[in-house]
Amino acid sequence: MRWAVVRSEYSKSLPGQHQAAQNWTPHEVLDCRGLLCPLPLLKTQQAVARLREGQVLEVLTTDPQSQSDLCGWAQLAGHEVVPLSAEGGVYRFYVRRRPTPGR
Q: Verify whether residue 32 is a known catalytic residue.
A: no
Catalytic residue, candidates 4, 5, 37, 77: 37
The set of residues, in sequence order, having a beta carbon less than 8 Å from that of 79 and lying 6+ positions away, is: 6, 48, 73, 95, 96, 97, 98
Scanning the chain, the segments in alpha helix (DSSP H) are: 39-50, 66-77
Residues with catalytic roles = 37
